[in-house]
Every structure is written in structure tokens, then in C-alpha cells.
Copies of this chain bind each other. A is one copy, B any other.
Amino acid sequence: MPQQKSKSTKARRRRGMNAPEHGPPPKRRRRLDPEDREREIVDGAVAFFAEVGFDGGLRDLATRLGITHQNLFRYFPTKEALIERVYKEMYLDRWQPEWETVLRDPTKPLEARLIDFYESYLAAIFRYDWVRIFVFAGLKGVGISQRYLDLVQKRVIEPLAIELRRAAGLPDGAALSREELEIAWGLHGELFYLAVRRWVYDMKTPDHLGPVVKAAVARFLKGAPAAMRALNAASAGSERGGAGDTPGRTTDRRSRRIAAPQPVRPR
């Protein structure tokens, strides 16, 4: 790691041009402050790998940045290290802890909480870079995206499932079954798939997410509590008919719990 130099000279930095200079490279050699250059490299790498995937060549990336590919090695010892940095920027540094509190805020109705959460969440991830890199990483089998989804499950899906239980008037406390989690994943999946359609398959999608989120949440909440109740069908019948037409298999539900040893109780 050659960066982070004397630090006494750090004050008088900041030259003029910092734009990535996409066009024809200036003949004159640009000598940047290491942290500026590193910033450019990381940002460029995010955009580059999002577009072509992690098999993209370092020479191509360097060309986009207006530098030679060797210069990359001054900042990252290996391609893998650069990719790790991209992951970090995308998934570790961008998780907002408030999300977890918004979902549990008892002063607001569940519908408002879900709308607030998903509007904020989508504002963070509904982007070309984020979605595509996330999918690339998943296909590559990189552990970080799997761990990210585990985080989503623990901090979003499980709390939401518990709220749904409450909204359905069901007793709390028992571990969440896989089927209960699947209900909560439904809303999440619907919205994420919208992002995939947009950024992976380049389909036309609504311009503004707000109305879509509101509609999806409202629709979701109209069916989800009843579905939770249907899972725990031992107690009460469905409230409007229609959904309860496949009543079987709900008796042994308690037997196949999720493996999670820890009680999902929010901290």
C-alpha cells in the first residue's frame, strides 16, 4: 500500500481538474495526489465492473481512467484487491443502520414504515452500478453478496415477518418458519426484481419509484397478514375467503422451523 504519504503535505493539495477525462487522453501526464487518484480508480472500477463484469480487463479499466494499467498496481496489489474494495464501497459502506430502526418504529403504522423504508432503501440501491455488481457478485459466488443477503434477511425480512404476525393478531415469540419468511421476502423480491428488469434486462420501468412502492406495499399488506394467519391456520379462518382454499399441510408447520438457534427478538 504505497498511499498515505507524509501527511504533513496533505493541506496544500487539491489541484484543478479532477474529472475522469473520458475523452481523448491528454498528452501531458497527470500527476495526482494519491488519494485523489485512488478515488478515481475506485469510482472508475465500480462503473467499469458494473458494465462488463469482473472479467473485464485491467487495461480497459485503465484506459477509461486515462492511465496505464500498471498504475493500478501502485494502488492495489492485485486485481482481486481492487474488486474487494469495490465490494466494500458498495455493500459494506452503504448499509444504513437507520433502516433497521425505521422498520420497527412503533409510532408509525406498518404501512408508513414499509413505504419509508423501501423508498429509502431503493434510493440507495436502485442504481445501475449497485444492482449489476450485486448480481455479478452473486453469480461469481463471492461470499460477500451471500452475506449481504443474510444481513437483509436478519435486519429486514425477519423484523417484517414479526410485524406481520402482529398485524395479523398472531401470538409473538415463536421462531419464524421458512414459510413466514417467504411471505416477507415476497415484497422485497417484487421490488428488487423491478430493479433487475431495469438494470439487467434494460426494460422500461416506471420513471418514479414512489408510486410503485406505495402501491406495492398497500397491495402487500392487503394479503400478507391473512397469509400469516393461513400458515397458523389452527387458530382462525381467513377473513374474506379465497385465499384459504389450500388448507392442508398447515398442521405440521411447527415441526419444520428455521434452523436459527437465536431468538429473532430485535435488539
Q: Which of A22-30, A83-91, A93-101, A131-139 participates in binding chain B?
A: A131-139
- Inside 8 A of A111's CB, which chain B residues have their CB? 242, 245
Interface core residue of A138, A207, A262 (most chain B CB under 10 Å): A138
The answer to whether A128 has its CB under 8 Å from any CB of chain B is yes
**Which residue of chain B has the shortest Cβ distance to A207 in the bound complex?**
B262
The answer to whether A246 has its CB under 8 Å from any CB of chain B is yes
CB–CB A226/B215 < 8 A: no
Extra inter-chain contacts (18) besides given A190-B190, A214-B245, A219-B227, CB under 8 Å? A149-B197, A149-B201, A178-B204, A182-B206, A182-B212, A186-B219, A204-B258, A204-B260, A207-B262, A215-B243, A215-B246, A218-B223, A218-B243, A218-B246, A219-B226, A220-B223, A221-B242, A222-B243
Interface on A for B, CB 8 Å cutoff?
53, 55, 111, 128, 132, 135-136, 138-141, 145-146, 149, 153, 178-179, 182-183, 185-194, 196-197, 200-207, 210-212, 214-224, 226-227, 230-231, 240, 242-246, 249, 258, 260, 262, 264-265, 267
